[in-house]
Structure 1
Amino acid sequence: MANLALTYRNQGRWEDAEVLQAKGLELCSKKLGQRNPNTPISMKNLASIWKDMGRHEDALGLLQTCFDLRQQVLGASHPYTASTLSTLRAWRKENEQAPV
């Protein structure tokens, strides 16, 4: 499901990608739980799709949740946590510079 969502995203089919990725996140959350490492991956993927769609506030909110989970589950020094923090900072900076 995530691979097809990524394919749709790469094709610019953001609505189709969003539907699949949101369903994937829902399944991860329900079946694996919030603390499973796959759940934040699904969150980050959906946040990226929302960013592509121009839904910057939604994307930032979900990416913040992803970062918080990774920090709790993996720890602050884990590479995935650091990568998510870097992405979060970059997106915040882009959002501040975006025309209103």
Structure 2
Amino acid sequence: MANLASTYQSQGRLDEAEKLFVQVIEAQETKLGVDHPDTLTSMASLASTFWNQGRLDEAEKLGVQVIEAQETKLGVDHPDTLTSMANLASTYGNQGRLDEAEKLGVRVMEVSKAKLGVDHPNTLTSIGNLASTFWNQGRLDEAEKLFIQH
């Protein structure tokens, strides 16, 4: 069911994806528990669906909930946690909350460098995302430095 929901999301069938993700999460919470990694992954996917629907406040709320659970269950340096943090930073950026996006983006970049290495694709993505945040803040020199590093 989760795979079908992801397929719907990829096809842009966001309402169908949302409904199916909700069903998946309800079943996973019952069978696996609210903090099981599979449940958290489905919740992150639902947050992404909200983001794609332009429902940024709901994406933010669910994203924060997912990150808090992932940090406890998986750790702050787990790739899933870092991905959720990067997604939340993107949500903040789209909400115009650039200082919060920057703070979270810096954290993702630093942890990614330490955990995954400076040349890992996820680390490079986090550097590019932070550079974009700097660009949106009008901090062009800092953005340029990161883009060159990226």
Fold in common (TM above 0.5): yes
Question: What amino acid is aligned across from residue 20 of structure 1 in structure 2?
Answer: L
**Following the alignment from structure 2 to structure 1, what is the Cα–Cα distance between the partners of residues 119 and 128?**
13
Percent pairwise identity: 35
Alignment match of 2:90 (pick from 31, 38, 48): 48
Residues 30-55 of structure 1, C-alpha deviations (whole Å, 9 max, x = no match): 10011211111110011111111111
1:65 is aligned to 2:96: no
Alignment match of 1:75 (pick from 102, 117, 140): 117
Question: 1:20 offset after TM fit, Å?
Answer: 0.5
Give 1:14's aligned residue.
Answer: 56
Question: What amino acid is aligned across from residue 97 of structure 2 in structure 1?
Answer: R
**Following the alignment from structure 1 to structure 2, what is the Cα–Cα distance between the partners of residues 51 and 86?**
14
Q: Find runs of 4+ consecutive structure 1 residues off by over 4 angstroms.
A: none
Corresponding pairs, count:
97
Question: What amino acid is aligned across from residue 40 of structure 1 in structure 2?
Answer: L
Question: 1:84 offset after TM fit, Å?
Answer: 0.9
TM-score with structure 1 setting the length: 0.92
Structure 2 segments unaligned to the other structure (5+ residues): 1-42, 140-150
Alignment match of 2:134 (pick from 60, 83, 92): 92
Structure 1 segments unaligned to the other structure (5+ residues): none
Task: Look up the SS of the partner of 2:54 in the other structure.
Answer: coil
